[in-house]
A and B are shown apart, each in its own frame.
Chain A
């Protein structure tokens, strides 16, 4: 079964650091981009960034650049999202998701979308 399993809920204080994980299984981890998505009550879903685990090439949403670090360890098929200094505004649910690209028989791209999602990690930052 293809799945992404995320680490458990975290409760942290402002200023603390945190690293959450997303472990892929059931597929070739290095062949698919992994994205991170934040869910907050006020703003719905926000795309934070994406990483290609094979070479760790990463693209960030400018709104999150410098605020978080996305990384991956292809040898243990795990992607990470980390903060060096949390703020109360980082309180949210964080999802990882696999990006799949489908193709027509001709070889041209048919669609690009996040087809497999982790179960989400709730992060609460409060003094």
Chain B
């Protein structure tokens, strides 16, 4: 099983600031299998990034993804009020998919 460890657990920032979220894998993950999701209370998770660095349809360009093998990151260049949520990385390498434990991005 590939364990994904996200850091930090909670990130407190203000609107307009830059956020960098980390996702570290216990084994190498091919980039095409790495995705990021945004999850707000009472809503379904929303796909942000796939293939580690490709934005999903409708995702603003302030979101970007990077990384390879065991180290991946999601960057939000300038935080908007609607960006405060929980973010998960996820890998889809068969036979066992896994999610990270999440990073909560909260307003400072």
Instruction: Give me the interface of A with B, judged by CB distance under 8 Å.
Output: 35, 37, 43-47, 50, 59, 61-62, 95, 97, 99-100, 102, 109-115, 117-120
Contacts of B56 in A (CB 8 A): 113, 115
Q: Mask for B34-72, Cβ within 8 A of A = 1, else 0? A: 010101000011110011101011000000000000000
**CB <8 Å contact, A113 and B99:** no
Docked Cα-Cα span, A117 to B39, in Å, equals 11
Q: List 5 A-B contacts (CB under 8 A).
A: A37-B99, A45-B99, A111-B35, A113-B56, A119-B44
Chain B: residues with Cβ within 8 Å of the partner, total of: 28
Residue with the greatest number of chain B CB neighbours at <10 A, chosen from A43, A111, A114: A111
A113 CB contact (under 8 Å) in B44, B50, B86: B50
**CB <8 Å contact, B94 and A110:** no
Given contacts A110-B51, A112-B92, A113-B47, contact A45 B102 (CB under 8 A): yes
Contacts of B50 in A (CB 8 A): 100, 102, 110-113, 115
A120 CB contact (under 8 Å) in B44, B86, B88, B94: B44
Chain B nearest Cβ from A29, distance in angstroms: 18
Q: Is the C-beta of B18 less than 8 angstroms from some C-beta in chain A?
A: no
Contacts of A50 in B (CB 8 A): 97
**CB <8 Å contact, B102 and A102:** no
**CB <8 Å contact, A47 and B32:** no
B54 CB contact (under 8 Å) in A37, A111, A119: A111
**CB <8 Å contact, A117 and B88:** no
Query: In the complex, which residue of chain B has the Cβ closest to the Cβ of A120?
Result: B44
Docked Cα-Cα span, A59 to B92, in Å, equals 12
Docked Cα-Cα span, A111 to B37, in Å, equals 14
Docked Cα-Cα span, A85 to B15, in Å, equals 47
Q: Which 3 A-B pairs give the minimum distances between C-beta atoms?
A: A111-B51, A111-B50, A113-B35
**CB <8 Å contact, A117 and B44:** yes
Given contacts A44-B99, A45-B99, A112-B32, contact A118 B44 (CB under 8 A): yes
**CB <8 Å contact, B96 and A117:** no
